[in-house]
Structure 1
Amino acid sequence: MSKFLKVFALFVLIMVPALAACGSEDTSSNGGDSGDSGDSGDKYKIGILAPAVTHGWVAAVAYHAEARAKELSEEIDYKIHTSSDASEMTSQLDDLITWGADAIVAFPQWEGMEVPIQRALDEGIEVVNFDIVIDVEGVYRVAGDNYDMGVQGANYVVDKIGTEGEVVLLEVPSSGSVSELRKSGFLETIEEIAPDMNIHTYATQFTREDGLKDFADILTSLDKIDAVFSLDDETSIGVLQAISEAGRTDIQVVTGGGGMQEYFEMMPENEDIWIQSALYSPAMVKDAVDTAVKILKGESVEMETIIPTTVVDRDNYEEFLDSGSPY
């Protein structure tokens, strides 16, 4: 054999294994606002759709959904997309269909998602909606219990101040059924267990700025307040600031709702006021991911799963602290 042929043969022997190694390299990535857990193999493929928000309750939905998907990495591969509007979410849903998703967990805050979600169902993909009700037959839903939040708030107030007193109810009419259900649960329970309680109803918003401004006005109009039934943790932070700035010492209870880390941390600091949150936690989205897995495994799952309310105050707040949560 010539010297040239010997060299060429040696070159081929070296390069063939190297090329084979390059062909087996994992090219999956986990960048931007989308996570892809890699080559699916026999794993279920689950897509997650959530709004693109960097802080607050809504942002924590994507955070907890991805956290649960990572915990289930031995069973599932996942992609997570966040969107700024219905058009972007629709495009991302189409991407998940092309990817071959077996199930999609969606938090469709935008109007107009019925048609693309129906398209996913028509492709044989299971869809689990978190929180939002959407009028498409065949969609599963996982959500908290807004009415029960009001029930638990009423029980908490009565437990702390008794069956008589002056209670301010801060409703948020702009939030529609959320406010109405929480308010109804509270008022109907108070009527049953403490009919002599005096309820003063005012309107506000789900922000600490509105809670501060509106409650500052309320404090000037009411000389005596025993408890505040607030529907939201953000609002309640504003309420507590207004109480502090006014130097009021008569208020014994301030409720909240949602499950905000900053609010949890305020609970032990306010020894003279019982600070409560009735959880409507973004972490419930983990149950939506679990539901998708159960469906794909062929397990029996209810079309609607309503998660009971958990009450958090200074006695148990440490159980719910999560330093990584954006809410």
Structure 2
Amino acid sequence: MKKALVFLVTFSLLVTLVFAGSVSAQDKYKIGVLAPAVTHGWVAAVAYHAEARCEELSDQIEYRIQTSSNAAEMTSQLDDLKTWGAEAIVAFPQWTGMEVPIRMAIEDGIEVVNFDIKIDVDGVYRVAGDNYDMGVEGAHYITDKIGKEGTVVILEVPTAGSVSELRKAGFLDTLEEIGADFDLHTYATKFTREAGLSDMSDILIRHDQIDAVYSMDDETSIGVVKAIEEAGREDIKVVTGGGGMQEYFEMMPEYQNIWLESALYSPAMVKDAVDMALDILKGKDVPQEKIIPTTIVDRTNYEKFLDPDSPY
């Protein structure tokens, strides 16, 4: 009799534990993350920070992170997340052609939070930095360091579409507002250090005097600084950047003759997108769009932004 009683109690406890575990798993929200395959250090850091935040929330969510090389692959992965049962998806669609699959996901009842990229789909949420404000801050930074006169090179990146256009517009609009009378020279480049080095080397040959370089990206800026160093030029007093690259931060105190600046557009913002997705699923009141203001990093404060674990 006692053995039977012990068995029943033990069995009852096991059933209770299994049932409790089942309920606990069911109570977790399912969130998928769609990111591009690595084409740039900044993009690699997006997936890194997304996974870090999902791990921090693992007591509340189940998650899957997928990376893709084009719109067709990302669409296929979006379908996989639907089959898995994703209730919300954080998407970083770098290519055109994602509007239809994202619209279909929303129509299927999935909450979608776009990171960085803005697409024309009703019902999509968005978290991004302020590209226009990066240009605004860059203009203020340069005029603060060299005054309102001088020769300034603008390095735009036409292949980056609205990212480059907004950063350039913010820069030019602000120069006009504050009455800066710069001799401006605009050149096309890319968001890579190799392009920054090659293009800036050519630009240095064309101009005997340059006071500042408005670069929009930290990787480009690393190449720019290398070109200046190799040419032995001492006339350039400011090189801006953008993104939040650890290597560029670490260079800042090494160049006391040049102010190296980065308008922080941190890949860590994707954590806010994951948080937004979870808040939506919890039924919280969430704004349709969250734009994160620009933070300026230079040798006076770079130590606050160092992250030894960051891949960018």
Q: By the TM > 0.5 criterion, same fold?
A: yes
> Secondary structure in 1 aligned to 2:42?
helix
Which residue of 1 is the match for residue 221 of structure 2? 236
Aligned to 1:125: 110
Letter in 1 for 2:135: G
What residue number does 1:170 align with? 155
Which of the numbers 261, 281, 288 marks the counterpart of 2:273? Answer: 288
- CA distance in 1 between counterparts of 2:264 and 2:255 reads 19
Read off the aligned partner of 2:224 and give its amino acid letter: V
Say if 1:229 and 1:54 are closer, same or farther in 2 by CA, change over 3 A: closer
Is contact 1:57-1:258 (8 Å) kept?
A: yes
**Residue aligning to 1:29:** none
Counterparts of 1:202 and 1:121, CA distance in 2: 41
Given the alignment of the two structures, is residue 262 of structure 1 paired with residue 247 of structure 2, yes or no? yes
**C-alpha separation between the residues in 2 aligned to 1:208 and 1:295?**
39
Matches within 5 A, 1:303-314: 303-314=288-299
2:151–2:184 CA contact under 8 A, matched in 1: yes
1:213 corresponding residue in structure 2: 198
Q: 2:189 aligns with which of 167, 186, 204?
A: 204
Are 2:143 and 2:180, in contact at CA under 8 Å, matched by a contact in 1? no
Q: Contact conserved, 1:164 with 1:194, CA < 8 A, in 2? A: no
Q: Distance in 2 between matches of 1:83 and 1:179?
A: 23
SS class of match (1:142): strand
TM superposition shift of 1:216? 1.2
Give 1 or 2: higher helix fraction: 2
* 8 Å contact kept, 1:54–1:326: no
In the alignment, the residues of structure 1 paired with residue 93 and residue 25 of structure 2 have an alpha-carbon distance, to the nearest angstrom, of: 26
Q: CA deviation at 1:198?
A: 2.0
Residue pair 1:44, 1:77 contacting (<8 A) in 2 also: yes
Give the residue type in structure 1 aligned to 2:54. Answer: A
1:272 is matched with: 257
Q: Which one is further off, 256-265 or 88-97?
A: 88-97
Q: 1:112 to 1:54 in 2, by over 3 A?
A: closer
Alignment of 1:1-327 (within 5 A): 40-53=25-38, 56-327=41-312
Does the residue aligned with 2:48 lie in a helix, a strand or coil?
Answer: helix
SS in 2 for 1:267: helix
Larger radius of gyration: 1
Gaps spanning 5+ residues in structure 2: where? 1-6, 19-23
Paired with 1:158 and 1:139, the residues of 2 have a C-alpha distance of: 38
Any conservation in 2 of the 1:169–1:230 contact (CA below 8 Å)?
yes
SS in 1 for 2:201: helix
Q: Secondary structure at the match of 2:67?
A: strand
CA distance in 2, matches of 1:176, 1:119: 25
Secondary structure of 2:155's aligned partner: strand
CA distance in structure 1 between the aligned counterparts of 2:186 and 2:40, rounded to whole angstroms: 30
Tell me the SS of whatever aligns to 1:48.
strand
Give the Cα–Cα distance (whole angstroms) in 1 for the partners of residues 161 and 34 of structure 2: 24
- Structure 1 vs Structure 2 CA RMSD: 2.5
State how far apart, in whole Å, the 2-side matches of 1:284 and 1:57 are.
11
Matched residues in 1 for 2:53 and 2:260: separation?
29
For 2:49 and 2:269, locate their aligned partners in 1 and report how far apart those are by CA, in whole Å.
8
C-alpha separation in 2, matches of 1:316 and 1:118: 42
